[in-house]
């Protein structure tokens, strides 16, 4: 058993894709002239485990993005991220144990209103439609990535073409791309297609419920290892409660085309009293002969909030277990870890309309 204690500082300057104003019916949302955002996650961890203990100060996440309007209906966007060039506790990275800055998204995007149908598209390194949909309403991102991203190692973006169409409460988004994500964008000669269909089943000022279905068919690597997935999810939001869930069946995970698993994840955040919130999240993936799970909870104080800008202080715990084929070394003994985190998160939008 191993126990990790982490102190995390999160700074987020987030800019929405469009302005805060809701467009009138039958019109398109306004594209801002300039939108900037910055995210930084820094952590100090003390890990108690079998063998030598581990103490490290690490930058878990650092991202910076910008979007510029190219006209009334077109824009260009660039987002950079810093990733560690060595594994956890490792020192065999680029120039020692340094950070490598890479492009997370770089795209040209546009939209058009055709009658009552809202068409949109993008080309370049674009966001994966499924991970993007999950993250859109996910308010516990400082605590953990979503189940698909964390347990299926699902890349957040890919070299692809994205098309979308919306009519009333229904929206369809699809990407046709390389399928390799950000790690090996040049190895695969085939294409990977991912589609997400979502419907706003309830859309009122006091509550909003969206349900979605997803399908993916493609391959990874020069050997074209299969990468097929189907699933669904929901997202609920109200002034007092936010929640979401997902279930995904995957045929092929990473470079293991023979591996089949089912991921189930869910999360919820509730406001107990004004400026005091609690949250809980959990996810599990089951394979033949093994399982890996992660779950946790948090309590947060929100001492300052003004419109979309807010400051939060979190006290969180994260628990992971793995056994059998779900362990880091398949067939190894059951692995467990508990992480206690003190998190500060700040969000402030910066947009020039």
CATH superfamily to which 2-352 belongs: Porin (2.40.160.10)
- The pLDDT of residue 254: 80
Give exposure, 329-352, as e/b (b: 16+ Cβ within 10 Å): eeeeeebebbbbbebebbbbbebe
Give the tens place of pLDDT for each residue, 98-139. 788 889 999 999 999 998 899 999 999 999 999 999 999 898
- The pLDDT of residue 289: 79
SS3 at position 151 = helix
Give the tens place of pLDDT for each residue, 139-149. 898 888 999 99
**What ranges do the domains of the chain cover?**
2-352
From the list 155, 221, 226, 228, the residue with the least C-alpha distance to 189 is 221
- The pLDDT of residue 54: 61
Contact between residue 31 and residue 73 where contact means Cβ atoms under 8 Å apart: yes
- What is the C-alpha to C-alpha distance for residues 26 and 20, in angstroms, rounded to an integer? 17
pLDDT tens, residue order, the chain (353 aa): 444 444 334 333 333 333 344 455 456 777 889 988 887 776 666 665 544 566 667 677 788 889 999 988 899 999 999 887 766 556 666 777 678 888 999 999 999 999 889 999 999 999 999 999 999 989 898 888 999 999 998 999 999 999 999 999 999 999 999 888 887 777 777 889 999 999 999 999 899 999 999 999 998 888 788 999 999 999 999 999 999 999 999 999 887 888 899 999 999 999 998 889 999 999 999 988 789 999 999 999 988 887 767 788 888 888 888 887 676 655 444 567 788 888 777 777 788 88
- The pLDDT of residue 30: 76
The whole-angstrom distance between residue 338's C-alpha and the CA centroid of its chain comes to 22
| pTM assigned to the model | 0.87
């Amino acid at each position: 058993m191993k126990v990790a204690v982490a102190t995390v500082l999160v700074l987020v300057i987030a800019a929405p894709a469009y302005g805060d104003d809701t467009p009138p019916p039958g019109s398109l949302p306004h594209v801002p002239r300039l939108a900037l955002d910055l995210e930084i996650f820094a952590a100090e961890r003390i890990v108690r485990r079998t063998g030598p203990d581990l103490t490290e100060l690490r930058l878990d996440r650092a991202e910076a993005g910008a979007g510029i309007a190219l006209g009334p209906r077109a824009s260009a966007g660039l987002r950079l991220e810093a990733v560690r060039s060595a594994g956890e506790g490792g020192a065999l990275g680029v120039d020692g144990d340094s950070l490598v800055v890479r492009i997370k998204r770089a795209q040209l995007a546009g939209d058009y209103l055709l009658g009552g149908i809202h068409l949109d598209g993008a080309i370049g390194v674009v966001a994966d439609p499924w991970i993007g949909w999950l993250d859109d309403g996910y308010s516990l991102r400082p605590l953990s990535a979503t189940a698909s991203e964390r347990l299926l190692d699902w890349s957040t973006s890919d070299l692809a073409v994205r098309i979308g169409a919306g009519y009333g409460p229904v929206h369809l988004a699809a990407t046709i791309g390389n399928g390799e994500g950000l790690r090996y964008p040049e190895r695969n000669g085939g294409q990977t297609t991912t589609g997400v269909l979502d419907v706003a089943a309830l859309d009122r000022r006091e509550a909003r419920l969206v349900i979605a279905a997803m399908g993916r068919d493609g391959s990874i690597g020069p050997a074209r290892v299969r990468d097929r997935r189907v699933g669904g999810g929901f997202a609920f939001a109200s002034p007092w409660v936010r929640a979401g869930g997902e279930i995904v069946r995957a045929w092929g995970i990473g470079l293991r085309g023979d591996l089949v698993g089912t991921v189930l994840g869910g999360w919820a955040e509730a406001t107990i009293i004004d400026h005091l919130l609690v949250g809980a999240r959990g996810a599990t993936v089951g394979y033949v002969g093994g399982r890996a799970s992660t779950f946790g909870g948090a309590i947060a104080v929100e001492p300052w909030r003004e419109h979309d800008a807010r400051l939060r202080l979190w006290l969180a715990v994260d628990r992971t277990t793995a056994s059998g084929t779900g362990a880091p070394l398949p067939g190894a003994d059951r692995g467990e870890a508990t992480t206690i985190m003190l998190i500060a998160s700040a969000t402030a939008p910066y947009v020039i309309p």
